[in-house]
Amino acid sequence: MENIAEVVQGLLSSEAKVVVGDFPSLDAEGISVKLGEGEEATRYLGMTTTINRPYIIVVARSESYSTAKQWLASCRAILDGYRSDNILGILVTTPTIYIGRDDQKMHDFQVTYKIMIKE
């Protein structure tokens, strides 16, 4: 299975510059995708596959409040409900949260998603 953060990066790449992990510098604009471990994998009797439920945190950062907020709205439209052969579903688990402005006066917004993956 591909790295899920990189799959999400590919899905969002048309919206803005997307990085996996932390932003490369404090003044970088764009979208960051971070993968969390989530719940323990589930395996049912008789199944040869497991169901993993990691989460991802998507952060949008821009000098413009409205640009960062719009990027996350676009990300939500792309990701919420997304399915593929191995991704059973991506569901938004938090509202769009305005984190605030950092020392470089960049606006940060965040949304968290739960993903169900068949491996």
CATH class of the 4-118 domain in this structure: alpha beta
All structural domains of the chain with their residue ranges: 4-118
Average pLDDT per consecutive 10 residues, the chain (119 residues; last block may be shorter):
80 90 84 86 72 91 95 94 91 94 92 90
- Check if the beta carbon of residue 15 is closer than 8 Å to that of residue 71: yes
- Check if the beta carbon of residue 59 is closer than 8 Å to that of residue 32: yes
Whole-number pLDDT of residue 1? 42
